[in-house]
Structure formats: structure tokens, C-alpha cells
Amino acid sequence: QVQLVESGGGLVQPGGSLRLSCAASGTTLPISTMGWYRQAPGQQRESVASITQTGTTNYADFVKGRFTISRDNAKNTVYLQMNSLKPEDTAVYYCKATTYRHYWGQGTQVTVSS
């Protein structure tokens, strides 16, 4: 059973930056892919970015050039550096990890507002 603990959310002004972290624990199995999703009020959960164990990344078009996903395999931790934040980035951000099944974190709120 994998436990995911997210941190780093908060309130930031438009144009600002935040860095999210997600630490995985509770497994000796390799975690093949880790990623970030988000869900705004009244909206479906959507993929933001993902990264494989070998470092291959994938980004949603709406974050390309602004967000960067990275990963520390030794720590089973994934990061999301978010720059040039916009009000429409406001959402609960969820971490996802995949072994032979998917695991989700509890979510961390990101609010972009002046």
C-alpha cells in the first residue's frame, strides 16, 4: 500500500510561483510513473504533468513553459515547480503514483488571486 503526502500549496498572487512536493512511502515496488492532476470547483479532474522513473516527462498544453515536473527516485518524491501562475490555475492539486495500480494523494489547495 502506497501512501502519498503532498505539500507546498497555498495562496499566491498572479505571476507568482509555488513548488509542490509529493512523497511516496509504504512500498518496495518500483513506482513507474508519478504525476500531478488538478480539479477546480465544478470541473473534472485533469492531468497536469507526469514523469516516468527514467525521467520522461509529459505536460498538459495549458502548463507548458510554466510548470516543471521533476523526481527524486531515491526519495520516491515528485515535485511540481509552478511559475507564472494564473487565476485559472486555482484548483486542488493531486499527486498520483503508479506501481501495478494507481494511488492518489489527499490533495493540496492552490489559490491564485490578488
Residues with Cβ within 8 Å of 24's Cβ and at least 6 positions away in sequence, in order, are: 2, 3, 4, 31, 34, 76, 77, 78, 97, 103
Average pLDDT over residues 41-51: 97
**Angle 59-64-68 (CA atoms, 0-180°, nearest 5)?**
70
Least confident of 27-36, 41-50, 79-88: 27-36
Tell me if 21 sits within 8 A of 6, measured CB to CB: yes
- Report pLDDT for 34: 97
Cα four-point dihedral sign 104, 109, 48, 71: negative
For residue 58, give the nearest of 83, 78, 30 by alpha carbon.
78
Residue 102's pLDDT band (boundaries 50, 70, 90)?
A: very high
Strand partners, 95: 36
Tell me if 82 sits within 8 A of 20, measured CB to CB: yes
Cα four-point dihedral sign 77, 56, 19, 111: negative
